[in-house]
């Protein structure tokens, strides 16, 4: 029988001790920032004690291990990847700005779990060049896993500047630090399936055109692919960009459809199901978090070295882009039916024509390149993955046999 921690963080085989009482005592407040202003929390950093914690967290506990700076470490993918790396003995230091795009208490809960495993998360923004430089002064990171980003396709119409802030300006600040670091780290970062935009050729291959983004979000991710290319070309940074396909699972993002549908279904509220042209169902190549974690770790393991020093390229370095999908698209109405089955509650569907807000009708990944180069092989179908998500959701938000439990807020 799987342990509680395996259920909470299924991507991390083995035993982590988790304080059950504390991780359960949490209430959900809101989905994401209701105004167009994202709050970026600033925190103080530096000092002997702080540096000691960073070094301790970055310590490697296996031969040929790596020390990885994970940005967005309190985020969905970031927290899972950090734990998986730590678990196998790599050194991990996290950074996260804990913004309020969605309920920050969920990010705090993830941080709490990571802290319990000896992972230190710096509260700060990747736009803070002094902070990033300080981190590189303190630790010679072998790898950077950049998962800090402004996510969400439709929110880009509400708050376009937050996408430029994190996905472009923040990325450049981070790459500047990487290029100047000695030794330079290898960089793996999160792009998105949304770069395929209006591409109609299926399944989507890495060589397909990506010059027709349908949202500003997609445009900033595509810009990231071009920006990282220049750092590879000029400075010799080893770069791997991962095009994630609608990642879902336990500890996921409340702004995503599977998560908000679950909440509404349980609360007896209607859910809005978008439909495409001629009332066609929309479909996504939903990919389970454990599979994504394997793809991220495989990318770090095969990244190859950066070749620059003193800010100068000394030879060609790897530049790679991979699809990380499931190769098995599922329609949104089917997603809803699976949730109904797992929740044992009927959804109140409201069908609406897809608004022109950046959505694309379908995604479908060709993963043969990742399979060949990374040994990437997704193993979780949507029904199985959603079952794990629902189980986590019910325990995290304190549902008990259909009834909402009254729980205290957890104070960190
Ligand atoms: O893979 C990706 O590239 C992207 O996947 C997701 O974006 P999306 O696929 O739009 O995921 P959801 O927001 O969860 O939407 C899933 C599907 O549900 C539909 N949907 C969404 C919300 C809603 O209220 N109703 C509804 O039918 C959407 O149109 C879409 O077809 C993430 O939110 C992005 O951050 C990520 O980069």
User: What is the tens place of the pLDDT at every residue in 321-367?
Assistant: 999 999 999 999 999 999 999 999 999 999 999 998 899 999 999 99
**Crossing angle (nearest 10°) for helices 129-138 and 48-58:** 60
Q: Is 135 in the pocket of ligand 1 (CB under 6 A)?
A: no
- Return the closest-CA partner of residue 267 out of 209, 348, 174, 354: 348
Q: Is 11 in the pocket of ligand 1 (CB under 6 A)?
A: no
What are the strands of the beta sheet with 186-192, ordered from one edge?
A: 120-123, 91-96, 67-71, 143-146, 186-192, 239-244, 319-324
pLDDT attached to residue 36: 57
Atom of ligand 1 lying closest to residue 217 CA: 37
**Residue 276 to residues 200, 258, 306, 360: CA-CA distances in angstroms?**
14, 18, 44, 9
Atom of ligand 1 lying closest to residue 282 CA: 31
Nearest CA to ligand 1 atom 6: 246
pLDDT attached to residue 311: 85
Pair 160, 152: CB distance under 8 Å:
no
Q: Is the pLDDT of residue 412 over 90?
A: no
Determine whether 61 is exposed, middle or buried from the number of CB atoms within 10 Å of its CB (0-12, 13-18, 19+).
Answer: exposed
User: What is the tens place of the pLDDT at every residue in 167-226?
Assistant: 999 999 999 999 999 999 999 999 999 999 999 999 999 999 999 999 999 999 999 999
Nearest CA to ligand 1 atom 10: 153
Q: Is 272 in the pocket of ligand 1 (CB under 6 A)?
A: yes
DSSP-assigned letter for residue 280: P
Nearest CA to ligand 1 atom 21: 257
H helices within 310-352, ranges in order?
332-343
Q: State the distance from the centre of ligand 1 to the C-alpha of 241, rounded, in angstroms.
A: 20
Average pLDDT over the chain, rounded to whole? 90
Q: State the distance from the centre of ligand 1 to the C-alpha of 327, rounded, in angstroms.
A: 16
Q: Is the pLDDT of residue 5 over 70?
A: no
Give the largest Cα separation in the chain, rounded: 63
Q: Is 332 in the pocket of ligand 1 (CB under 6 A)?
A: yes
Atom of ligand 1 lying closest to residue 255 CA: 13
> Phi and psi for 286 in degrees, rounded to 5?
-55, 130
pLDDT attached to residue 403: 56
pLDDT band at 33 (very low <50, low <70, confident <90, very high): low
- Return the closest-CA partner of residue 299 out of 315, 323, 326, 328: 323
pLDDT attached to residue 107: 98
Q: State the distance from the centre of ligand 1 to the C-alpha of 168, rounded, in angstroms.
A: 21
Q: Nearest-5° angle of CA 258, CA 261, CA 263?
A: 110
pLDDT attached to residue 310: 85
Sequence-distant (≥ 6) Cβ neighbours of residue 278 within 8 angstroms: none
Pair 82, 114: CB distance under 8 Å:
yes
Atom of ligand 1 lying closest to residue 192 CA: 3
H-helix or E-strand containing 297?
helix 289-301
pLDDT attached to residue 126: 98
Q: Is the pLDDT of residue 23 over 60?
A: no
Residue with tokens 């935009």: 197
Share of the chain above pLDDT 90, in %: 85
In whole angstroms, what is the distance from residue 307 CA to residue 255 CA? 39
Pair 182, 383: CB distance under 8 Å:
no
pLDDT attached to residue 357: 87
DSSP β-ladder status, 247-248 and 287-288 = parallel
The tokens describing 410, both together, are 């957890």
Q: State the distance from the centre of ligand 1 to the C-alpha of 339, rounded, in angstroms.
A: 16
Q: Is 131 in the pocket of ligand 1 (CB under 6 A)?
A: no
In whole angstroms, what is the distance from residue 120 CA to residue 172 CA? 24
Q: Is 100 in the pocket of ligand 1 (CB under 6 A)?
A: no
H-helix or E-strand containing 96?
strand 91-96
In whole angstroms, what is the distance from residue 73 CA to residue 250 CA? 15
In whole angstroms, what is the distance from residue 184 CA to residue 83 CA? 24
User: What is the tens place of the pLDDT at every residue in 289-317?
Assistant: 999 999 999 999 999 999 999 889 999 99
pLDDT band at 404 (very low <50, low <70, confident <90, very high): low
pLDDT attached to residue 167: 98
In whole angstroms, what is the distance from residue 254 CA to residue 391 CA? 15
**Cβ-based neighbour number of residue 195 at 10 Å:** 27
In whole angstroms, what is the distance from residue 236 CA to residue 230 CA? 9
Nearest CA to ligand 1 atom 31: 282
Pair 392, 385: CB distance under 8 Å:
no
Hey, what domains does the chain have and what are their CATH numbers? 4-404 (3.40.50.720)
Q: Is 282 in the pocket of ligand 1 (CB under 6 A)?
A: yes
User: What is the tens place of the pLDDT at every residue in 226-248?
Assistant: 999 999 999 999 999 999 999 99
Helix (H, G, I), strand (E, B) or coil at 239: strand
Q: Is 204 in the pocket of ligand 1 (CB under 6 A)?
A: no
Determine whether 28 is exposed, middle or buried from the number of CB atoms within 10 Å of its CB (0-12, 13-18, 19+).
Answer: middle
Nearest CA to ligand 1 atom 15: 257
Residues serving a catalytic function are 217
Q: Is the pLDDT of residue 14 over 90?
A: no
The mean per-residue pLDDT over the stretch 252-269 comes to 98
Pair 66, 300: CB distance under 8 Å:
yes
Q: Is 274 in the pocket of ligand 1 (CB under 6 A)?
A: yes
In whole angstroms, what is the distance from residue 5 CA to residue 243 CA? 28
pLDDT attached to residue 253: 98
Q: Is the pLDDT of residue 381 over 60?
A: yes
Atom of ligand 1 lying closest to residue 193 CA: 3
């Amino acid at each position: 029988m799987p342990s509680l921690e395996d259920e909470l963080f299924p991507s991390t085989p083995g035993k982590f001790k988790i304080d059950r009482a504390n991780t359960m005592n949490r209430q959900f407040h809101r989905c994401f920032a209701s105004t167009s202003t994202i709050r970026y929390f600033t925190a103080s950093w530096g000092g002997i004690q702080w540096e000691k914690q960073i070094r301790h967290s970055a310590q490697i506990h296996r031969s040929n291990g790596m020390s990885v700076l994970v940005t967005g470490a309190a985020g969905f993918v970031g927290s899972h990847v950090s734990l998986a790396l730590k678990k196998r003995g790599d050194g991990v230091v996290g950074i996260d700005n804990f913004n309020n795009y969605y309920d920050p208490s969920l990010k705090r809960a993830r941080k709490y779990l990571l802290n319990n495993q000896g992972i230190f998360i710096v509260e700060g923004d990747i736009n803070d060049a002094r902070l990033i430089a300080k981190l590189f002064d303190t630790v010679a990171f072998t790898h950077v896993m950049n998962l800090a980003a402004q996510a969400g396709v439709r929110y880009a119409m509400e708050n376009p500047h937050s996408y430029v802030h994190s996905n472009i300006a923040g990325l450049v600040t981070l790459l500047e630090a990487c290029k100047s670091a000695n030794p330079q780290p290898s960089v793996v970062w999160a792009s998105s399936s949304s770069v395929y935009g209006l591409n109609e050729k299926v399944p989507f291959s890495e060589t397909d055109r990506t010059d027709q983004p349908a949202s500003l979000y997609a445009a900033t991710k595509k810009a990231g692919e071009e920006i990282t290319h220049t750092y590879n070309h000029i400075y010799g940074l080893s770069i791997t960009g991962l095009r994630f396909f609608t990642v879902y699972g336990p500890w996921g993002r409340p702004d995503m459809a599977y998560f908000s549908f679950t909440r509404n279904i349980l609360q007896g509220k209607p859910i809005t199901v978008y439909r495409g042209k001629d009332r066609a169902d929309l479909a996504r190549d939903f990919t389970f978090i454990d599979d994504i974690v394997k793809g991220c770790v495989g990318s770090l393991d095969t990244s190859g070295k950066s070749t620059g020093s003193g800010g100068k390229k000394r030879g060609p370095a790897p530049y790679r882009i991979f699809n990380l999908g499931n190769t098995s698209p599922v329609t949104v109405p089917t997603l809803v039916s699976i949730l109904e089955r797992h929740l044992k509650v009927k959804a109140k569907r409201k069908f609406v024509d897809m608004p022109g807000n950046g959505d694309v009708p379908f995604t479908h990944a060709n993963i043969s390149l990742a399979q060949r180069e990374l040994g990437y092989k997704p193993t979780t179908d949507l029904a199985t993955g959603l079952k794990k998500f629902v189980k986590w959701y019910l325990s995290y938000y304190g549902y008990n046999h259909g009834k909402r439990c009254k729980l205290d807020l957890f104070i960190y």
